[in-house]
Structure 1
Amino acid sequence: MTIRRIFIVSAATASLALLMAGCGQHEANDSEVVTAGGTAKSEAATPKVLTENWPPSVPSAGLTKGMALPLEKYMVSYADEIAVQQARDVAEIACMRRYGFVNWRTEDLGTSPPPADNASNMPRRYGLTVLAEAQKYGYRVPGSGRESTPPPEQDVPNAGKVLQGAEASGEARSFNGKELPEGGCSGEVKRKVGSLDTELVERLSGESFERSQQIPAVKAAMARWSGCMNARGYDVNTVWDASDLTSTNAPTASSKEIKIATAEVECKEKTGLVKVWFTEESAIQRQLIADQKSLLDRAQKRSKSTLDAAPAIHP
């Protein structure tokens, strides 16, 4: 049996890859870079945060409604990731403005929230679990927010040198006679704003997910689910096989895809697969926590320290 993982790549994952994708951009022309004797009106020094359609801390619908695995208490939330990224952006903007880029800004944050609040991805950890979504979207993730619209890329002279502290001949040491921080403004941001320590908890979460699929009770429940699907005309052995019966490359779900997705969720409900799986994985995670508690507590403390300091980062 092929074991698959369906995790959000967050602060761990989806989450920070999207957030970090948009380094600061500058919308203005070259004349807006302040030089000796020059002035310019600056824009907002704090990135905008949009909170519409952010995922709940625990699933609010479907077969995983109200479910939270034990390791989730050690995970960082989407809001945590946004808070740290906001602090990074504020620090970056402040640094760039010190060197004359008075209209430097970063992307709005929170515009494309993930379907889950943390890297456990509970809404889809065990495949599809919300019948209404399956009936409307098939295997696709419903659009949960506005698409991120990054500022247009501009060819701003010297911005890269100040941001990264690099030039063709090596690392740039100064700009317009003013010494640059090591690694440019990006290096300054890394030193000024800490990071979220998620590696261990996410590794353990992946381990529990894979181990859970080998538990006899889960295998038996999966077999019952497979029998239910076979009775409906779908020859599949595991929940990971169902989506392979239809193409998901089209922009919208076909009627065939919706029928298969609907059958998958209905058979999960009929056989109790999700409840069994969640129960068995929870037991695995409790043991993992007991075995790794000191390291998990240490990582959580480091993340908390970063989060506590984030609001203190000012323009």
Structure 2
Amino acid sequence: MSSSSDDAIKQCMADAGFPDWKPAPDLPTVGGATLTDWRYGIHDLTRAKRSGYHPDPEQQAAYEAALASDESMNADQDTLRGCASQTDGTGASVRQSPLVSQISGSSYQQSTETAAAKKVFALWSACMKAKGYIYREPLDASDHFSTGSDQISEAEKQTAVADVECRDQYHVEKTWFEAEAAIQQKAIAGHLDDLKRQKAAIKSAVAKARSQEAVR
């Protein structure tokens, strides 16, 4: 939610008899620090040694503390929904282009089917097998430990370390990224006019939001 929307809802809630209402706090990052972390899986050996595939414990603690401090729902829910509905549209809505989201989603799936990705995945799989782990593709290893448990086992740490070592040996992220980038570049070229129109709409929304902030 934008700060302008937060301010509008806060004023509405105050007018409705909830002067102490506060918007939800910004939550700290948990897990990957870059898009590559989230998109292609773990590649930080230090993190793997410390917490396996789990988020860094300090990051997780900070996230949970921020979540616990969220008082935004401590108010009459009908009133809050009414204020949110009332202020919806008073601030500019700035979201990612639908076409960008579509290209991003489809390119990821297509990239896993490219010859380059399949080759490097096979090399990674053979490397993992030599270390005693049987997985077909890189994300299979992390998925194996995605059970919802907060406990970080030694087996998970050891698997994650082997995973990163095999990734580094065969440059998995670089190969995967380059394969996907080529797919995205082709898609961008094929939808250039639509992307330009959506970019202009987003720039207009940003300008509108900034002008609204300036008069507050």
Alignment TM-score, normalising by the size of structure 1: 0.59
| Alpha-carbon distance between aligned partners in 1 of 2:157 and 2:103, rounded to the nearest angstrom | 33
Per-residue deviation, residues 96-151 of structure 1 (Å, max 9, x unmatched): 3334433332222x233354578xx3213111111111111101122534432211
Aligned to 2:94: 196
Amino acid corresponding to residue 197 of structure 1 in structure 2: R
**What does residue 38 of structure 2 align with?**
124
Structure possessing the higher radius of gyration over alpha carbons: 1
Take 2:53 and 2:114, find their aligned partners in 1: how far apart are those partners? 26
Asked if the contact 1:218–1:276 (Cα under 8 Å) also holds between the matched residues in 2, the reply is yes
- 1:21-74 deviation line (CA, Å, top 9, x unaligned): xxxxxxxxxxxxxxxxxxxxxxxxxxxxxxxxxxxxxxxxxxxxxxxxxxxxxx
| In 2, Cα distance between equivalents of 1:248 and 1:138 | 13
Higher strand share: 1
Partner of residue 18, structure 2: 101
What's the secondary structure of 1:191's corresponding residue?
Answer: coil
2:83 matched residue in structure 1: 185
Equivalent in 24, 27, 33 of residue 111 of structure 1: 27
Out of 49, 55, 62, the residue aligned to residue 141 of structure 1 is 55
Deviation readout 1:161-196 (Å, 9 max, x if unpaired): 5444xxxxxxxxxxxxxxxxxxx4222311201222
> Separation in 2 of the partners of 1:185 and 1:269?
51
Q: Which amino acid aligns with 1:206?
A: G
**In structure 2, how many angstroms separate the alpha carbons of the residues matched to 1:259 and 1:214?**
28
Question: In structure 2, what is the Cα distance between the partners aligned to 1:87 and 1:115?
Answer: 28
The alignment yields a C-alpha RMSD, in angstroms, of: 2.5
Which of 73, 86, 108 in structure 1 is aligned with 2:3? 86
Contact kept, 8 Å, 2:117 with 2:179, in 1: the verdict is: yes
Residue 21 of structure 2 aligns with an amino acid whose one-letter code is W
The answer to which structure, 1 or 2, has the higher relative contact order (CA under 8 A, 6+ apart) is 2
Of residues 97, 103, 126 in structure 2, which corresponds to 1:227?
Answer: 126
Percent identity of paired positions between Structure 1 and Structure 2? 30
How many residue pairs match? The answer is 207
For the structure 1 residues 152 and 97, does the alpha-carbon distance in structure 2 shift closer, same or farther, using more than 3 Å as the test?
closer
Q: Which runs of 5+ in 1 are unaligned?
A: 1-83, 165-183
TM-score of the two chains, using structure 2 as the length reference: 0.83
Greater fraction helix: 2
The 3-state SS of whatever aligns with 2:40 is: coil
